[in-house]
Structure 1
Amino acid sequence: MASTQDPYAELRALEREFFRIDDDVVCRIRKLKPRLMEYAKQALDTVFDHLKTNPIVADYFADEDNLAFLTSGMLAHCDRVLSARFDADYYEAVSQMGLRHSKLDYPSFVYTAAYSNMLTSMQQQAARDRQRFSEDDAAALNRVALYDVELAQAAFFQHQIEKVRSLDADMAKVQHLIDRPSAA
């Protein structure tokens, strides 16, 4: 009988330990989730406005259908991240996000910068909010957000490596056909 246990569970627990994502952080994020989701909604507008002005990605973010899709997808991802349930569904979702980003063929810094700008906007909103946002709240948000972006970027680069390997294998096949002596 095959084991249904996650083979990566121990590694993922170790990763969260390095990011200091403990029970307190998880409880804190879950408690803050309603506020953070409101901040995320507002932050997306400023993030997308910035991206629309950048020549590297402006064409993609100028398309209203793309923006609607991205907004929906980012809010769904924020909902998942801020639920702080580091389960198989979360890890699959963040991996798929990294894969989709890789397929768009924009440089990785585009995604990291967008994430950074969104997080900064959320923190600025929290600082202006009437409700107290403690240092521990800010630290919890940073820990979870940076862990999430780390996982997405790891998936991004894993896909990039796989593309290079595939291209190298194709090149080797073509080279073999070129180098092969022709039958007379």
Structure 2
Amino acid sequence: MTPSTKPTPEHFELQREFFRIDAATVARIRKLKPRLMAYAAKTLETLFDHLASNPEVGDYFEISDNTRYLRDGMLAHCDLVFSARFDPKYYDAVDQMGLRHSKLDYPSHAYSSAYANLMAGLFRQGMETGPKLSAEDVAAITRVSIYDMELTIAAFFRHQLDKQAALYADTEKVRDMMTQQRLAS
């Protein structure tokens, strides 16, 4: 599979096996979903506060509507992730998230650090409130979350490569036109 080839359902199934996302993991995530969604909502209230002072992405987070849009989008995505359906709707959402990130043109670590901080918030709350998350819970959350992050970042880079290929193709067309004009004169 080349970097710009979209993965097939079979490829996704092999990836989930590699991440050890089996029926038991899916069932555990689905059972934990109500708690995880509450933890995500609380974590997302302050997740982006520190980014406003970051010179690479601060301009985006200085606008409260952008932060609200991103927070709402991440919460909606958490709903998909913790539903653990891994169906075409989920994979399309991951691809669209990668495309949106690619269009913003921020470095990939801006996205993976937000994800890491979201996971840290989930784990912190899971250890401090209600029944503590078990080792099996943490393993399931980690597998599903890192798998989701991998897919999103892969989509980000695939869209970046597609943009570069389109730009290169356009550049070559202009060069060909200029060459043809020179030869005609």
TM-score by length of 1: 0.92
Deviations 1:31-52, CA, capped at 9 Å, x for gaps: 1111101111121133211212
Partner residue, 1:107: 107
Deviations 1:113-135, CA, capped at 9 Å, x for gaps: 11011111111111112312100
AA at the equivalent of 2:19: F
Matched position secondary structure for 2:45: helix
AA at the equivalent of 2:54: N
2:54 equivalent to 1:48? no
Partner residue, 1:4: none
Deviations 1:89-113, CA, capped at 9 Å, x for gaps: 0000011000100000001111011
Q: Give matches, 1:14-163, under 5 Å.
A: 14-163=14-163
More displaced stretch, 78-87 vs 123-132: 123-132
Aligned-pair identity in percent equals: 54
Large movers: runs of 4+ above 6 Å: none
AA at the equivalent of 1:85: R
AA at the equivalent of 2:117: N
TM-score by length of 2: 0.92
Q: How many residues align?
A: 178
Compute the displacement of 1:85 (Å): 0.5
Which segments of 5 or more consecutive residues in structure 1 lack a partner in the other structure? 1-6
Partner residue, 1:175: 175
Structure 2 CA distance for aligned equivalents of residues 118 and 132 of structure 1: 18
AA at the equivalent of 1:147: Y
Which segments of 5 or more consecutive residues in structure 2 lack a partner in the other structure? 1-6
Compute the displacement of 1:182 (Å): 4.6
AA at the equivalent of 1:149: M
